[in-house]
A and B are shown apart, each in its own frame.
Chain A
Amino acid sequence: MLGKGFTMSTRSIVVISAGLSQPSSTRLLADRLADATVTELAARGITANVEHVELRDTAHEVVNMTLSGFASGPLKDVLEKVAAADGVIAVTPIFSASYSGLFKSFVDILDKDALVGRPVLVGATGGTGRHSLALEYALRPLFAYLRADVAGTAVFAATDDWADGGGDDVNPLPQRIRRAGRELAEMVADREPSAPVGLYDAVPSFEQLLGGA
């Protein structure tokens, strides 16, 4: 049920994918999660604008920003999109028992408040299901630290999950994806569309600054 003020029926979803190969199974999972979210939002009368961000495309700029402090080239647009997103889908391959270094480097360059209160759906890929809990012990705490609102379902796709029927007989991948998409859609639909916050939008007046000194 949409309450008063929830008149805008468009939301932006930014899909961050940290897969390194092209094509990558990480991107494949990210696309499925995005599709599920779009479908569930549509069922609630909301049109989703989906932006895909392949971190591989800006990998050099990400590292440069950790050294130089500013976003160069296309990375500037990427960061602005993330800052303005109504919902974020973040998917990483699991390397050495955690998110990939590129994924973490990207999170590191986000403004510390960029994801506060923001609906986030996390996903990960790996060779076998034995890596699946990395979502719970690595990604979920990372986004909890950023004070994001992380969907209860996090989706891990092992290589076998891409088999017919989704690998797992009891709770196959397509079902997990649908559930995660529904959860993110509910969280996004429940919120006012986010307005981009500029650096100059909330500067206190000097009288306030002096009074607070």
Chain B
Amino acid sequence: MQFGIFTVGDVTTDPTTGRTPDDTERVRAMLTIAQHADEAGLDVFATGEHHNPPFVPSSPTTMLGYLAGTTKNIILSTATTLITTNDPVRLAEEYAMLQVISDGRMDLMMGRGNTGPVYPWFGQDIRQGIPLAIENYALLRRLWEEDVVDWQGKFRTPLQGFTSTPRPLDGVPPFVWHGSIRSPEIAEQAAFYGDGFLHNAIFWPLEHAAQMVNFYRQRYEHHGHGQADQAIVGLGGQVFMNKNSQDAVTQFRPYFDNAPVYGHGPAMEDFMRDTPLTVGSPQQVIDRYGKFREQVGHYQRQMFLMDHAGLPLKTVLEQIDILATEVVPVLRAEAESARPAHVPADPPSHASRVAAALAAGTVHEQVVAEDTFTGLRAEDTLSS
């Protein structure tokens, strides 16, 4: 089972000091956080994608490409990649490039985005969110799987004889997750393709996440990718820890009370009762998160939000250390001992996907460089 952190990249005033980082400081803090998570031994770092202040991560593959060169083991991912407002052609190119640069140490998660004006800013209509996610992703997959694509759809200009480069590493596209909180259509989409489904339940009761995950699992089986309990599931989570649980509560409360999204709303204790937020000792986090699989089944990836609401960098790095040294080893061992043998421990890696593709005969060991797509002169095509 994999454990990682995800960031939304919010620039938020630290309510305890009144200090606000600028965009540059925040971007660099995100890099430091990812590098620290790698050194601490966490499995995944994922960045959000946003196109409006106070969020800075507008360009995920630039950030993840840098991190690919400055980290060793951590899987680089997104939370989420906007499949609605990005051009799927650019996504195919950018993430194939990231895959090659990171030598396959990456995957990505599709999401629709929840900021209304981003749609019109990028020339789209929010009411078409689901159809955009369906059509764009279908094209993205074809661009990765097929060398030459002729395509026509509703939302982008048609393609004739288009080849997305670089071609996926070893001929195998990146593994894709789909994230959705409220839309069963997206769970259906993930199930149809046999992709992963991640429910970021940080603002929702886990019962809701469990319903959506179990729907995805049933549909995964229906579409013939395996048994329901073999579907690839991830969850979002949120914790703040101190070895003394009351200190954790005292330290985190001002950040909770003033946080974007839920600040000035429910009391922290109520929010902890109703959502996966756990503020307390590492053992309390272990107790709570160790039980999630009772509701959603054995799952492959648990992500934590750790660096939002104005928490200072130093605190975030300390939280990562506590998570990596005191919580993750216990949760991983518990999950592994409870896991049935036929259920995958981890999401597919690049290596496992290459092995599967070789076994299935969809790719071959040696790809002979036979360039039929470049070097043609335009007039060759015209005269043929």
Interface residues of chain A, those whose CB is within 8 Å of chain B, are 63-64, 67-70, 72-73, 199-200, 203-206, 209-210, 212-213
Asked if residues B189 and A212 are in contact (CB atoms below 8 Å), the reply is no
Set of chain A residues within 8 Å of B265, measured between Cβ atoms:
63-64, 67-68
Give the distance in Å from the alpha carbon of A213 to the alpha carbon of B131 in the complex.
5
In the complex, given contacts A69-B204, A209-B134, A209-B185, what are 4 additional A-B residue pairs having Cβ atoms less than 8 angstroms apart? A68-B261, A69-B203, A70-B208, A199-B182
Partner of B274, one of A67, A72, A199, A203: A72
B152 → chain A, closest Cβ, in Å? Answer: 12
The majority secondary structure among interface residues of chain B is helix
In the complex formed, the residue of A with least CB distance to B154 is A213
Residues of B in contact with A, size category: 20 to 34
Interface of chain B residues 159 through 184 with chain A (CB within 8 A): 182, 184
Asked whether, in the complex, the Cβ of A206 is within 8 Å of the Cβ of B153, the reply is no
Residues of A within 8 A of B223 (CB): 206
Q: Is B326 an interface residue (CB 8 A)?
A: no
7 A-B contact pairs sorted by A residue (CB < 8 Å): A67-B261, A73-B270, A199-B184, A206-B188, A209-B130, A210-B138, A212-B131
Contact call A203/B185, Cβ cutoff below 8 A: yes
Task: Give the CA-CA distance A210 to B193 in the complex, in Å.
Answer: 12
Kindly state the separation between the CA atoms of A146 and B264 in the bound complex, as whole angstroms.
29
* Contact yes or no, A203 B138, CB < 8 A: no
Query: Who on chain B is nearest to A207 by CB?
Result: B192
Asked whether B138 lies within 8 Å of A213 as measured between CB atoms, the reply is: yes
B262-278 residues at the A interface, CB under 8 angstroms: 262, 264-266, 270-271, 273-275
For the complex, give the distance between the alpha carbons of A69 and B181 in Å. Answer: 11
The answer to the question of B211 belonging to the interface, with a C-beta cut-off of 8 Å to chain A, is yes
Asked if B312 is at the interface (CB within 8 A of a chain A CB), the reply is no
Chain B residues near A212: list those with CB within 8 A.
131, 134
Contact A68 B203 (CB under 8 A): yes
Interface residues of B (CB under 8 A from A): 130-131, 134-135, 138, 153-154, 182, 184-185, 188-189, 191-192, 203-205, 208, 211, 215, 223, 261-262, 264-266, 270-271, 273-275
Cβ 8 A contact of B185, one of A63, A64, A73, A204 = A204
Q: Which residues of A contact B264 (CB under 8 A)?
A: 67
How far, in angstroms, from A175 to B56 measured CA to CA in the complex?
63
* Minimal Cβ-Cβ distance residue in B for A201: B184
Contacts A67-B264, A68-B265, A69-B203; is A213 near B188 (CB within 8 Å)?
no
Residues on the B chain within 8 Å of A206, using CB: 188-189, 191-192, 223
Whether the pair B266, A64 counts as a contact (CB closer than 8 A) is yes
Docked pose: A212 CA to B184 CA in angstroms: 16
With a CB–CB cut-off of 8 A, which chain A residues contact B261? Answer: 67-68
- Contact present for A200 and B211 (CB under 8 Å): yes
B262 touches A68 (CB 8 A): yes
Chain A residues lying within 8 Å of B135, measured Cβ to Cβ, are 213
In angstroms, how far is the closest chain A Cβ from the Cβ of B72?
Answer: 38
A contact residues around B270 at 8 Å (CB)? 64, 72-73
**Which residue from chain B places its CB closest to the CB of A205 in the assembled complex?**
B188
Interface centre among A67, A203, A213 (most CB of B within 10 A): A213
Residues on the B chain within 8 Å of A210, using CB: 134, 138
Name A70's contact: one of B154, B184, B188, B205 (CB within 8 Å): B205
Residues from chain A with a CB closer than 8 A to the CB of B192 are 206
Between B189, B203, B273, B274, the greatest number of chain A beta carbons within 10 A of the residue's beta carbon is seen for B274
Q: Quick one: closest B residue to A66, CB to CB?
A: B265
Closest to B153 in A: A213
**CB closest chain-B residue, reference A60:** B266
For A202, give the chain B residue with the smallest CB separation.
B184
- On chain B, the residues within 8 Å of A203 by CB distance are 184-185, 188, 215
* A213: B residues at CB distance < 8 A: 131, 134-135, 138, 153-154
Q: A199-B211, A212-B131 are known contacts. Are A70 and B138 too (CB-CB below 8 A)?
A: no
Complex-state Cα separation, A69 to B262, whole angstroms: 9
Using CB atoms, name the residue of chain B closest to A212: B131
* Nearest CB of chain B from residue A76's CB, rounded to whole Å: 8
Residue of A nearest to B273 (CB): A72
Residues of chain B within 8 A (CB-CB) of A209 are 130-131, 134, 185, 188-189
Q: Report A140 CB to chain B, min CB distance, Å.
A: 27
**How far, in angstroms, from A86 to B187 measured CA to CA in the complex?**
31
Which residues from chain B contact A69 at a C-beta distance below 8 Å? Answer: 203-204
**Shortest Cβ distance from residue A16 to the other chain B in the assembled complex, whole angstroms:** 22
Q: How far is it, in angstroms, between the C-alpha of A73 and the C-alpha of B274 when the chains are bound?
A: 8
**A70 surroundings in chain B (CB, below 8 A):** 203-205, 208, 274-275
CA distance A73 to B215 in the complex (A): 24
Q: Is the CB of B188 within 8 A of A67?
A: no
Closest Cβ–Cβ distance, residue A77 to chain B (whole Å) = 13
List residues of chain B with CB within 8 A of the CB of A64: 265-266, 270
Which of these, A67, A200, A204, A205, contacts B262 with CB under 8 Å? A67
A206 CA / B138 CA spacing, docked (Å): 11
Contacts of A63 in B (CB 8 A): 265
Q: How far is the CB of A72 from chain B (nearest CB, A)?
A: 5
Residues of B within 8 A of A72 (CB): 205, 266, 270, 273-274
The 9 A-B residue pairs whose C-beta atoms are closest, nearest first, are A67-B265, A206-B192, A213-B135, A64-B266, A203-B184, A213-B134, A72-B274, A213-B131, A68-B262
